[in-house]
Chain A
């Protein structure tokens, strides 16, 4: 079989294609973006005409994937961990409706917050929704598990959550492909009321889901991935979850640990799985990339059983991603610290690219606001969040997709005037439009500045649903023509742009300024490819 060198993200994408995927849905978000990008670049996907266009946000992606599943075909939806918060309504309820065609929901977590605002652990969502979770420890496992996950999803009629973390998503390794499966035919659910969650139906389906979740613990498809290796030294056994297994094994090079190891990569698992190791050992160390979920479950509230160590007693740090040294230390092994970083090395934080339109936009915002007291600029998720750093120091919030608009409204409700929101074009169509509708309906005195660079910039320049539509969207929502201002953020327009901003900041109603200039990265790429 063919061997490919693939990122964890790409292994999942290739596996989905090989397993007969008919529709891929996603909104870009680090570290999940490459799943969709791989499928968009794939000849195999093009030949079969697999659906592979970006969605406006994770919720629309999740629901479209559920619709594909309703029609009997295999669908995948991918997002970063915080994207699952956006998609949560559809996700949780898709467990109640159940699926028809196999449905995999990929959530890419970012422990240590390399490019995120939190390090939430998506495995919680699995338990919350009562759906099985796969958490591959390496690229090959990721590839193989996708096939299993589709089968399991169809057998039990539930969506499957696929949890990965940054290190796997963005690490490359050789992957051996399996035999390619045919796409599923279009066949609607045998019960056409399956997806109608009226309370009377939902209650029945929920009961069925609870019993399915119970039986999932004993399904050999899930349990075959969770492996137990015995050892002669039974003082302390180790339970690893996901990629923590790799960091454990790294500490033993080509030797094997002499103690029992339970490797967990699929949930839910049975009590018997855990008892394999707890019955043999006097104490247990739990290594999890993310929250101490398994550790908490083992301890319970009473924590009166076998001695457990892990993140909760800080044998392993309470937050942040794992690495071989952290795991080595938790095992009590002598670990190398390495040479110190010389004092001469300075921080090199990310910054706006040379020639970025956002830089000119924030120079204008700063000048237009210089006669006001500071602290009135609510911003959002994207490259423009970098304006929080020197030399700009322009923005006062970055919370979640779209929160700039609605926080500006709330602050203005409290009496802050002027109250300003700064958002990107793609983030605006992701989750900013509904907030703007609130502002229009309430006649909130806010100014919304949309930094329109015609792309989803921070994640590497994916298509933006907003491109060419922003003016009409704002007018359609009800922003008045006079207070919808368009500008080009260039140094030569600085004086005029400052004047326009000042005028709109003083307006006692909702106004929108579209500061439109193409992303310098996308523009350069386009020029090169011509």
Chain B
């Protein structure tokens, strides 16, 4: 078993929380894991990415090779396309449909979506709306994780446990909100 995942988004959108939750769940499942993240300048509204690798065997590189990622999980549509060189031919691209507009030359969203549809296996989800329904737009990252969850070789219940652990100190309401958001994403993609 091997899952090579690229997490993408804009600084502050919560991709490192997604990484942390998959990480916690992977450890619970006794999987080997490497998760590489980029900090620093990119926190300031720039593009952010993380390479997350899971395996039942030893993992060598902290970085995923081009054309080898099984999944791109993105909380922003244009950012999902930035990492296409890493996606394998059979890989899945799961992305939020709501753009994060902080640059003057952001392309027409229709053009972005049409490029995403050209990827053979894609899931485009309005995570912001589903998160709002679940209780807060801030949980959009968990909706995306939920939508990606059928493609990750970790039992759903372990992801739920990881959310409880990760958000536990913020109180039961926050935990419930994020579990609800995860479920909404999961239901969107189907089992």
B30-38, B122-130, B175-183 - interface stretch = B30-38
- Whether B159 sits at the interface, judged by CB under 8 Å, is no
Nearest opposing residue in chain B for A115, CB measure: B40
Given contacts A344-B115, A348-B10, whether A336 and B68 have CB atoms under 8 Å apart is yes
Give the distance to chain B from A139, nearest Cβ to Cβ, in Å.
8
CB of B132 closer than 8 Å to a CB of A: no
Binary interface encoding of chain A residues 28-50 relative to chain B, with 1 for a CB under 8 A from any of its CBs, else 0: 00110000000000000000000
- Please give the distance in Å from A156's CB to the nearest CB on chain B: 31
A383 close to chain B: CB less than 8 A: yes
Is the C-beta of A172 less than 8 angstroms from some C-beta in chain B? yes
A173 within 8 A of B: yes
Contact of A345 among B10, B32, B57, B82 (CB under 8 A): B82
Q: Are B23 and A5 in contact (CB under 8 A)?
A: yes
Q: What residue in chain A is nearest B103 (Cβ atoms)?
A: A348
Contact call B33/A173, Cβ cutoff below 8 A: yes
Interface check B11, CB cutoff 8 A? yes
The listed residue (B32, B36, B78) touching A174 by CB distance below 8 A is B32
How far is A459 from B68 in the complex, measured between Cα atoms in Å? 32
Given contacts A114-B38, A348-B47, contact A336 B115 (CB under 8 A): no
Interface segment out of the listed B105-113, B139-147, B148-156: B105-113
Find B107's partner among A335, A346, A352 (CB 8 Å cutoff): A346
Is B24 on the interface with A (CB-CB < 8 A)? yes
A391's nearest neighbour on chain B, judged by CB, is: B104
B41 contacts chain A at the CB level, 8 A cutoff? yes
Within 8 A of A (CB), among B10-24: 10-11, 19, 23-24
B115 with A342: CB separation less than 8 A: yes
B62 contact from A243, A335, A337, A346, Cβ within 8 A: A243
Residues on the B chain within 8 Å of A250, using CB: 60-61, 65
Residues of A close to B66: CB separation below 8 A: 325, 335-338
Within 8 A of B (CB), among A305-347: 323-325, 328, 335-342, 344-347
- Chain B residue contacts of A246, Cβ below 8 A: 60-62
B60-A171 in contact (CB<8A):
no
B43 interface residue, CB < 8 Å from A?
A: yes
Please state if B35 and A338 are interface contacts (CB–CB under 8 Å). Answer: no
B157 at interface (Cβ–Cβ under 8 A)? no
Other-chain residue from B33, B39, B103 in contact with A5 (beta carbon distance below 8 A): B33
Inter-subunit contact A350/B45 (CB<8 Å)? yes
Contact indicator A5/B24 (Cβ below 8 Å): yes
Q: In the complex, what residues of A have CB within 8 A of residue B84's CB?
A: 338-342
- Contact present for A350 and B46 (CB under 8 Å): yes
In the complex, B67 has a CB within 8 A of chain A: yes
Tell me the bound Cα distance from A345 to B106 in angstroms.
Answer: 8
**CA of A383 to CA of B82, assembled, Å:** 25
- Distance (Å) between the CB of B92 and the closest chain A CB? 14
Whether B86 pairs with A338 at a CB distance below 8 angstroms is yes
In the complex, the chain A residue whose C-beta lies closest to that of B67 is: A336
State whether the Cβ of A353 lies closer than 8 Å to any Cβ in chain B. yes
* A346-361 interface code vs B (CB 8 A; 1 in, 0 out): 1111111100000000
Give residues in B with beta carbon < 8 Å to A. 10-11, 19, 23-24, 27, 32-47, 57, 59-68, 78-79, 81-82, 84-87, 102-103, 105-107, 111-112, 115
List residues of chain A with CB under 8 Å of any chain B CB: 3, 5, 30-31, 114-115, 166-168, 170-174, 243, 245-247, 249-250, 254, 323-325, 328, 335-342, 344-353, 383, 386, 458-460
Extra pairs beyond A324-B64, A338-B84, A344-B81 (14, CB < 8 Å): A5-B23, A114-B42, A172-B19, A243-B62, A247-B61, A247-B63, A336-B65, A336-B66, A341-B84, A344-B107, A348-B46, A353-B44, A353-B45, A459-B40
